Structure 1
Amino acid sequence: MVKTFTATADGQFQLNEHKVRCALGKGGVRPASEKREGDGASPAGIWPIRHVFYRPDRMDAPQTRLKTVALTPEDGWCDDPASPDYNRHVKLPFAASHEKLWREDHVYDLILVLGHNDDPPVPGLGSAIFAHLAREDYSGTEGCVALALPDMLEFLRVIGPGDRLEIRL
Structure 2
Amino acid sequence: MLEGAGLRLRAACGRNGLSAHKTEGDGATPLGVLPLSRILFRADRCETPHCAVPVEPIAPNDGWCDDPADPAYNRQIRLPYAARHETLWRDDGLYDVVGVLGWNREPVIPGRGSAIFLHVATPDYAPTAGCIALPLPELRRILAAGLTAIRVVV
Shorter-chain-normalised TM-score: which range?
over 0.9
Instruction: Please point out which of 24, 40, 43 is paired with 1:53.
Output: 40
After superposition, what is the alpha-carbon deviation per residue over 1:100-145, rounded to whole angstroms, capped at 9, x for unaligned? 0000101100000000001011001100001000001101001111
CA distance in 1, matches of 2:93, 2:28: 21
The 3 A distance-change label for structure 1 pair 85 and 138 is: same
Gaps of 5+ in 1: 1-7
The 3 A distance-change label for structure 1 pair 46 and 16 is: closer
Secondary structure at 2:31's aligned position in 1?
A: strand
Secondary structure at 2:30's aligned position in 1?
A: strand
Residues 4 and 150 in structure 2, CA contact (< 8 A), matched pair in contact too: no
Q: Using structure 1 for the length normalisation, give the TM-score.
A: 0.87
Instruction: Please point out which of 37, 50, 60 is paired with 2:24.
Output: 37
* Structure 1 segments of 4+ aligned residues over 6 angstroms from their partners: none
> How far did 1:17 drift?
5.8
- 1:59-138 alignment, distance < 5 Å: 59-138=46-125
**Percent same amino acid at aligned positions?**
43
Aligned residue for 1:168? 153
> How far did 1:66 drift?
1.5
Instruction: Please point out which of 1, 24, 30 is paired with 2:13.
Output: 24
RMSD over equivalenced CA pairs, Å: 1.4
The 3 A distance-change label for structure 1 pair 158 and 72 is: same
Gaps of 5+ in 2: none
Residues 3 and 152 in structure 2, CA contact (< 8 A), matched pair in contact too: no
Q: Using structure 2 for the length normalisation, give the TM-score.
A: 0.95
